[in-house]
Amino acid sequence: MSESAKKLSPRARKFIRHYSKHGNATAAAKHAFNPKNDQSAAVIGHWAIRYFKIPLTEIMDAQGITDERLMEVLDDGLNASEMVIEKNGKEVTAVADAPDHKTRHRYLETGVKLKGHLTNTLKLELPPEVSIHVESKYVPAESESTG
């Protein structure tokens, strides 16, 4: 066990073990901290991932999930392809590899998050004299409004 992991409480180590095994922060928080409800577990899990970042990195390295391995997998995902089969009735007329853009997008998003360039927050720094009004409105698609 690393020095930074030794400094953690038993509950923190329990969280890290559960999270590293299952990859679900909410479930790990429920398992380690016994929160009152699911919403509390989600908040605790989110906080714990950020707070325990160094030990989680060490656990990943110990399990062979090194930065180099992550980059290999990321590169594979960014080049993902899918088999496209065209049929005419029961007869196959064409088979081809095509870029799997959906998979590539997920890998790209993961890579950007790992680099710290994509977060779920928006930070605006405006002078105090500037005010902004934000309004959100749902507009149904054509098929929803007519059908």
Encode pLDDT of 47-97 as tens digits: 988 887 767 677 777 778 788 888 888 899 999 999 888 888 888 877 888
Residue 45 pLDDT exceeds 70: yes
Both 56 and 73 in a single domain? no
Q: Which two tokens stand for residue 12?
A: 């923190």
Average pLDDT in the chain: 80
Both 39 and 14 in a single domain? yes
Residue % of the chain over a pLDDT of 70:
77
Q: How far is CA 8 from CA 31, 34, 53, 63, in A?
A: 16, 17, 12, 20
* Domain boundaries, position 45: 8-64
pTM score above 0.75: no
Alpha-carbon torsion (56, 106, 78, 108), positive or negative: negative
- How far apart (Å, rounded) are the C-alpha atoms in residues 143 and 127? 43
Both 48 and 12 in a single domain? yes
pLDDT band of residue 44 (cuts 50, 70, 90) is: very high
- How far apart (Å, rounded) are the C-alpha atoms in residues 1 and 66? 17
Total domains in the chain come to 2
Both 73 and 105 in a single domain? yes
